[in-house]
Structure 1
Amino acid sequence: MIKIKPPNSYFEEDGGNIRIVWRNTLYADFEKNLLEKAIKRKFKIKAELKVEDGYLRINHENKELGNFVIFLIQNYLREFLRNKYTKRRVLYIHEGMNIPLLGYNAFGLIDRGTNLIQVRGSTGCNVSCIFCSVDEGPYSRTRILDYVVDVDYLLKWFNEVAQFKGKRLEAHLDGQGEPLVYPFIVELVQGLRENPNVSVISMQSNGALLNDKLIEELAEAGLDRVNLSIHSFDPEKAKMLMGMKDYDLNHVLEMAEALINAGIDVLFAPVIIFGINDMEAESFIEFARKIGAGKRWPALGFQNYVPYKFGRHPSVKFLSFKKFYNWLRELEEKTDMRPLVLKPEHFGMHKRRFIPLEFHVGEVVKVKIILPGRIEGEMLAVARNRLIEVINTNAKVGDEIKVKIVRTRHGIYIGTPIK
């Protein structure tokens, strides 16, 4: 009997499919009978495949057969990858593809002219918040594709950016979704900690995917702070806001304390929707004080709900930022919790020179389409070693077209096709 279980993986069986789960966040399905037929063609034997205890078992002792099955699975794994939480197809971005990691909002690196660099290793989310600005999660109606960037490739690009930006950088792990969905999150933190230009490593998270083992690994790797998205202390209301019936508020609250006990600072970052959870503000403050959040940075970062074009729009009233900041100041006076009106200096943020823009608004550029985009009518193109999001297009991968650049803000490039 041959037992197969590749590193960081395990097998599951679902009807006629064999599923390999890789690094707990990605999976690929293979038709069991097709694998058995491939073995029969190669070795002229009838093999029976069975999954037990996470292993793929084959009723033969031929080591060459085992190596052949491993080769088949690993060779086609990336082609059939899907996101465990969104079930969407995943494109795996690696160095051999020669895809730039600057220019696009969904993955790679973003420089907004400060000493903070946003690091986005993947897309996809395990929850579907009713106010999500990018319509992410299992119940998304618009997102059709996910990406994962190879960690070594991401760190290589980060190093180049860091050399330009200088020392005392903050590497902030965020994205269009949940950063803990990234399958190499611990390795990413380790690699960033080894970079001499990085002083602080922070991360956004909804906390649901945290566990004691992962927290220990992240602490050892060098994670400094988690901006934790908890939006209500009422379990049912929390489920409603997160858009998930299985959301476990108590688990996330326990993980918040576990983070602090492991030496990782916590900033609570609830999205405030007035009329729904604004009355819980003092409860957030009380809990933050109770568990010792905000040792090096502010303990709370209340966010005002803002409707976005491609996001979800609950039937609530948007409060102006003027009124929102007045509300925060009143809360500061009432609770003596400061600061609640946050400024860049509270996080050691300051202006730094931008990575020079490669394009200007109105410029016409010849580009090559290299990847499908995340929504219908969107494709990704490359020119001058930058990614460009091409919108309102029916172009295909491999096409060379002309686009007019319509946006360059913060080095994120958007173009529309022209004839």
Structure 2
Amino acid sequence: MVKDSWNRTIEYVRVSLTEACNFCCPYCRPEIITAQSQTNLLSPAEWLVILEAFYKLGIKAVRLTGGEPLLYPHLEELLKGLKERQWFSDISMTTNGSLLTERAKDLHDLGLQRLNISFDAVDEETFNYRTGRVGQLGPVVDGIETAIATGFDVVKINTVLMEAMSDDVVRQLLAYIEKWPVVWRFIEYMPFQGDAFRGPTFEEWKAQLERLTGGVLVPESKVKGFGPAMYYTLPNGRSIGFIFPMSHTYCDSCNRVRLTSDGKLRLCLLRDDEADLVGLVRAGATADDIALHIADILQLRHEKHDGMDMETPKRAMWRIGG
């Protein structure tokens, strides 16, 4: 196992395969998608050298992200390579779900174990606004239901809370939570585009859910994967997760780092500290060389981010990876 300078064990790496996405969610990438989103991509062979280095450091879990990882042109080849090597006990992917219906079975057969699917609204009009696209609610719902039927170990739904929701909208969300056998997580809005924080905070959201469900949300002790979510049980017995990095920070237990689609190691989502790894690969460095370099770089991690007072990161969210 490898630790950083604050004695936090790093066991989880998030890999952004491409900056490209077929959605333009306003909390992530409000600008028009350009052709440059698919340039400077790493090949599967390059990713495998970097991921072997993390394996040698004791990393247990890998999550493939984007952009939209289903737009990475070599996704199946990379998954095949990971399946053959059996380096990691947990391989998962975050996707917007719109392209999932036709590919879920193949991804599952190639060893993808878990899926996180973004689902930020339950009505057509709001979904169009949230995704910057028209007519995608149906394909995403189909993708979610296909993923459930395919038999992934876990399907999680991620909902970003861009602002406070009306009671009627929350009731619609709760109906989906009742319907689908998934783990639903609510994620606090992060002001990556230079906007002011809009809430709701952890306490506000928890209070609204308790009021509408008519009971207390009971904390769970069971860990669900390698992520930072805190889980609670609703009065109906369903489990939901909270990820609130701004108003309820988890920096003291942060166990992950991120790799950007251009091969940079990013030490914190909310800080611009980065190290070039793909440059080392292209210069002929081995996985052992890169592992030593990563272990050194991890000692530069900060104790925590700056929370509500943080400066807007130079990299936009879509250039870091979801």
- Under TM normalisation by the shorter chain, which class is it? 0.5 to 0.7
Report if aligned partners of 1:119, 1:172 keep a CA contact under 8 Å in 2. Answer: yes
Higher strand share: 1
Residue aligning to 2:73: 183
Q: Distance in 2 between matches of 1:221 and 1:336?
A: 43
Q: Distance in 2 between matches of 1:225 and 1:337?
A: 30
Determine which of 87, 97, 103 is the counterpart of 1:207. 97
Determine which of 37, 59, 62 is the counterpart of 1:171. 62
Report if aligned partners of 2:12, 2:255 keep a CA contact under 8 Å in 1. Answer: no
Q: Distance in 2 between matches of 1:218 and 1:144?
A: 23
Task: Report the Cα offset of residue 171 of structure 1.
Answer: 0.9
Determine which of 150, 170, 189 is the counterpart of 1:305. 189
Output the amino acid matched with 1:304: E
Report if aligned partners of 2:23, 2:131 keep a CA contact under 8 Å in 1. Answer: yes
Residue aligning to 1:345: 223
Answer yes or no: is 1:138 the counterpart of 2:32.
Answer: yes
Q: Distance in 1 between matches of 2:277 and 2:139?
A: 46
Determine which of 230, 238, 245 is the counterpart of 2:127. 238
Residues 53-79 of structure 1: CA deviation (Å, up to 9, x unaligned): xxxxxxxxxxxxxxxxxxxxxxxxxxx
Output the amino acid matched with 1:258: T
Task: Report the Cα offset of residue 128 of structure 1.
Answer: 0.7
Judged with a 3 Å threshold, the aligned counterparts in structure 2 of structure 1 residues 340 and 237 are, in CA distance, closer, same or farther, namely: farther
Q: Distance in 2 between matches of 1:215 and 1:324?
A: 33
Alignment of 1:200-349 (within 5 A): 200-212=90-102, 214-245=103-134, 247-264=135-152, 265-275=154-164, 279-293=168-182, 299-308=183-192, 311=193, 313=195, 318-319=198-199, 323-328=201-206, 330-331=208-209, 334-335=212-213, 345-348=223-226
Task: Report the Cα offset of residue 165 of structure 1.
Answer: 1.7
- Give the number of the structure whose alpha-carbon radius of gyration is greater: 1
Output the amino acid matched with 1:318: R
Judged with a 3 Å threshold, the aligned counterparts in structure 2 of structure 1 residues 225 and 131 are, in CA distance, closer, same or farther, namely: same
Query: What percent of counterpart residues are identical?
Result: 24
Task: Report the Cα offset of residue 160 of structure 1.
Answer: 1.9
- In the alignment, structure 1 segments of 5+ residues that lack a partner are 1-111, 294-298, 356-369, 372-377, 388-404
TM-score (norm 1): 0.48
Q: Distance in 2 between matches of 1:187 and 1:292?
A: 30
Task: Report the Cα offset of residue 352 of structure 1.
Answer: 9.4
Report if aligned partners of 2:95, 2:118 keep a CA contact under 8 Å in 1. Answer: yes
CA RMSD of aligned residues (A): 4.2
Higher helix share: 2
Report if aligned partners of 1:172, 1:201 keep a CA contact under 8 Å in 2. Answer: yes
Determine which of 34, 37, 44 is the counterpart of 1:151. 44
Q: Which has the higher contact order (CA 8 A, sep 6+)?
A: 2
Q: Distance in 2 between matches of 1:170 and 1:338?
A: 33
Q: Distance in 2 between matches of 1:181 and 1:342?
A: 36
Task: Report the Cα offset of residue 280 of structure 1.
Answer: 2.5
Report if aligned partners of 1:285, 1:300 keep a CA contact under 8 Å in 2. Answer: no
